[in-house]
Structure 1
C-alpha cells in the first residue's frame, strides 16, 4: 500500500470536519465524494446527520483547490436534495461563500454553484438567495456578475412555473 493510500485510509477514521478541512487536498476530495454519497443515501429530511453536515459547507465550497471545490459543491447539492426547508438556517453563510468563491470558477464549478442556488430557492431560502445575488451583481469582477444574473433568471422562471 502506498503512502497516499495509507493516508486516505487513515483519514476515513477522522470526523467529517477534520476530513473535509484536511491539509491534504486528496483527503478533502475523498471526503467530499463520501459525503455526497452519504447524503444521496439519506431518505429522511429529518435525519440528524443533515444537521451535522450543514455548517460544514461554508468552508468546503470555498476550497482553494478547484477540483475539491467542485466535489464540495456536489456534496452540497446532494445535501440540499436530501434536506428540507430546515436546512435554510445554513443558507446565508453557504450562499455567501458560493458567491464569493464559485461564481468566478471553472464553467463546471459555476454550473454547480447555480444548481446549488436553485436548490436553496426550492428550500424557500429566497430572501437569502436574493441578498446574495444583490451582492454578487455588485461584484467588481464582471465574470461573477453574469452567472449571478443568469441564476436569477433561472429562479424567476422556476417561480413562475
Structure 2
C-alpha cells in the first residue's frame, strides 16, 4: 500500500504515465475533470498533455483505457492545440481501440475520430483510417468498414 501513497502525490500528467495502471486510471480521471474545467481553449495547461493524449487511447489496461478515451475526447473537444495530436491519436484508435471487444471503447474511438473531423482535421483522420484498412488484423478492417459511413467526407 506504500506505493499508492507515493503515486497519489504526483501531478496529473505524471500519474498518466505511471507504470501502475491504477495510477494511470486516477490520472485519466483527474485529467478528465481538469479538461472539463478549463474554460480558456488557449490555456497553457493544454500544452502539458500534447505528448500524452496518444497514451490515453492506447493504454494497455482496458479499464484505464476507457477513462483515457473519455479524457482524450474532452481534450480534443476543448483544447485549441488538439489538432496537433490528430495523426498519432487516430492511429492509436485504429490500432488499439477498434480491434477490441468493448463496445464502449469502440464508441468513444468513433467519437474521437468524429471530433477531429469537426475541428477540421478530416484529411488526417481519413488517411489514418485508410492505413488501418491495410492492417492484417481482420477485426480492425471489419470495424473500419462498418464505421466508414460515419467518416465520409463531403466537399
Normalising by structure 1, we get a TM-score of 0.86
Q: Which residue of 2 aligns with 1:134?
A: 130
What is the deviation of 1:66?
0.7
Match among 86, 96, 102 for residue 97 of structure 2: 102
Structure 2 unaligned regions, length at least 5 = none
Q: Which residue of 2 aligns with 1:32?
A: 28
C-alpha distance in structure 2 between counterparts of 1:80 and 1:30, whole Å: 20
SS at match of 2:87: helix
Normalising by structure 2, we get a TM-score of 0.89
Q: Which residue of 2 aligns with 1:69?
A: 65
Q: Which residue of 2 aligns with 1:16?
A: 12
- Cα RMSD for the two superposed structures: 1.9
C-alpha distance in structure 2 between counterparts of 1:142 and 1:153, whole Å: 18
Matches within 5 A, 1:38-57: 38-57=34-53
CA contact (8 A) 1:114 1:147 kept: no
C-alpha distance in structure 2 between counterparts of 1:151 and 1:51, whole Å: 31
Give the aligned length: 154
CA deviation profile, 1:40-86 (whole Å, cap 9, x unmatched) = 112221111112112201223211111111111010011111123x4
Q: Which residue of 2 aligns with 1:118?
A: 114
> Following TM superposition, where does structure 1 have runs of at least 4 consecutive aligned residues deviating by more than 3 angstroms?
6-10
Structure 1 unaligned regions, length at least 5 = none
Higher helix share: 1
